Amino acid sequence: MECPNMNMKQSAIALVISAIAMPVMALSPSVGDPGFSGSVSLGAGAGKVKSNFLADVMGVDLSDDKLSNIGDPDDKNVTMPVAEFDLGWTFSSGKTRVMFGSDQGGGFSDFTPGVQIGVRHDTGNAGNFQLVGLMADGATKVYEDPYQLGSNRGKSDISHNGGRFIWDQMFNSNFELMAEVRKIDVDNERSGEQAFGSNPAARKLLKRDGDMYKTTLGYMYKANDRHTFRPSIGYVDYDLDGDAMSRKGALIELGYIYTADSFNLSLSGLYGKLDGDKRTPFAASNDKNDTDRYQIAGSMDFSGLFGLKKWVPRISAIYANDDSDIDFNDTEAWMIMAGMHRTF
């Protein structure tokens, strides 16, 4: 019999994994019919997660408080429920919709689970516009000094609040522009205090507070009724107070959708090459936070399976990896999920 505390841990990390979902895709073709609309996904997943920085989510411990060395993070087996939602109201004009939903986050290692609230307006010839506020504050805790050895590390709240702007079907084309900015704030930032207590310059290099900027340009190509492709290029900049934590670089991505009468398949692959600003003050490494970012995700929907009319069974999987030249900064996760999706 599993202990209740383990179930709580596994449920809480689902909030994290649900944010490592499919990248932000193009907006739906229209805001839909006037009135209430939305979607909800419920399910469960299993996989592994590893990080040296994440302490807990929703007050549930997710990693060991004590470290014995500055090295690769340990991985953790997880099994948990997963939930996502999008709720909105379309005005009588059929062109404007206000919405409230779960936030799928930006990249793999730069998010906390949260919500988004915003508005979308379709103009016709100029394209479709969406502006949302992103609120991820208080759910996640990180370690105050992640590098502390030999004793339990203290925990601190972290927030990733900001906004996202999407301009889809630009001037009646298949191009889409997405711009996102987030303010990252660690309430009690003490990185490097144990190792560099008498060296404030070294401690400053490890600060995680700052800003994240991301821009993506995508193109939706529909080959025929069944096959749709979406290549995109992007740029992300983690402009952090700690120069040894800052990094920026280009992203390339390809999405694919296969549509059939009773089966839909979505696939995406992403690669990013991020360059760190300055070297870490830890002499054993003395590397920059140069990072190779990989992400592969897939989702399959089975309409009408088991005779269901309103709920659609869904199976999805994702692998994501931020492979840093600094082993301590590596983050990695894979997850397989199964559940039900409903649009209304």
Q: Is the pLDDT of residue 260 over 50?
A: yes
pLDDT in tens, 116-164: 999 999 998 999 999 999 998 777 889 999 999 999 999 999 999 999 9
pLDDT of 107 reads 54
pLDDT in tens, 44-88: 888 888 889 988 876 656 778 899 999 899 887 777 778 889 999
Distance (Å, whole) CA 176 – CA 134? 20
User: Residue 102 to residues 29, 34, 119, 131, 132: CA-CA distances in angstroms?
Assistant: 20, 22, 14, 15, 12
User: Residue 197 to residues 137, 186, 326: CA-CA distances in angstroms?
Assistant: 29, 19, 21
Percentage of the chain exceeding pLDDT 70: 88
Q: Which residue has the higher pLDDT, 1 or 334?
A: 334
Band of pLDDT at residue 221, cut at 50, 70 and 90: very high
Band of pLDDT at residue 16, cut at 50, 70 and 90: very low
pLDDT of 17 reads 41
Write the CATH number for 102. 2.40.160.40
Q: Is the pLDDT of residue 18 over 60?
A: no
- The domain total for the chain is 1
Q: Is the pLDDT of residue 5 over 50?
A: no
Of 163, 165, 145, nearest to 328 by C-alpha is 145
Q: Give the mean pLDDT of 167-192.
A: 96
Q: Give the mean pLDDT of 234-247.
A: 97
Q: Compute how many other C-beta atoms are within 10 angstroms of the C-beta atom of residue 14.
A: 22
pLDDT in tens, 267-308: 999 999 999 999 999 966 678 999 999 999 999 999 988 889
Burial 194-207 (b: 16+ CB within 10 A, else e): ebbeeeeebbbbbb
pLDDT of 306 reads 86
What is the domain extent for residue 294? Answer: 4-343
pLDDT of 19 reads 39
Distance (Å, whole) CA 127 – CA 150? 57
State pTM to two decimals: 0.88
Q: What is the chain's mean pLDDT, rounded?
A: 87
Q: Give the mean pLDDT of 253-274.
A: 94
pLDDT of 64 reads 84
Distance (Å, whole) CA 265 – CA 173? 24
pLDDT of 325 reads 94
